């Protein structure tokens, strides 16, 4: 935990706990939202796993990105999660989605 706190520049165990809670809630919530959205676009499990799962993952990805920053804000860790989000998008070569001065 000490190395993680240093890597993420986190000051306290409480802050680390909040960050873990935000990651857990965001993952669960985005997966939960993906089900109805997948059905809304007309993709069901009956279509087969080769169609259903890739589409569901593509739906989860943007939901997760938005929810991560929103949940981080709700829990008072907006700065951490906005910085984390920018690093993640840049590492995925999606940095063009971020404003240059952000």
**pLDDT above 90 coverage of the chain, percent:** 42
How far, in Å, CA of 20 to CA of 35, rounded?
24
DSSP 9: T
Alpha-helix runs per DSSP H in the chain: 2-7, 13-40, 49-74, 78-91
* pLDDT beyond 90 at 97: no
pLDDT at 41: 87
61-94 as b/e: b if 16+ CB within 10 A = eebbbebbbebbeebebeebbbebbbeeeeeeee
pLDDT tens digit string along 15-63? 999 999 999 999 999 999 988 989 898 888 888 888 889 988 988 988 9
C-alpha 68/C-alpha 70 separation (Å) is 6
- Give the predicted TM-score (pTM) of the model: 0.80
Q: Kindly indicate the confidence band of residue 102, based on its pLDDT and cuts at 50, 70 and 90.
A: low
In the chain, what are the domain boundaries?
A: 2-97
């Amino acid at each position: 935990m000490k190395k993680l706190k240093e890597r993420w520049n986190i000051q306290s165990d409480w802050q680390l706990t909040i960050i873990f809670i935000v990651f857990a809630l965001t993952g669960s919530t985005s997966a939960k939202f993906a089900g109805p959205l997948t059905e809304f676009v007309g993709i069901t499990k009956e279509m087969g796993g080769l169609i259903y799962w890739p589409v569901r993952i593509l739906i989860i990805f943007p939901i997760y990105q938005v929810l991560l920053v929103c949940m981080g804000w709700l829990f008072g860790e907006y700065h951490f999660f906005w910085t984390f989000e920018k690093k993640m998008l840049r590492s995925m070569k999606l940095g063009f989605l971020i404003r240059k001065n952000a």
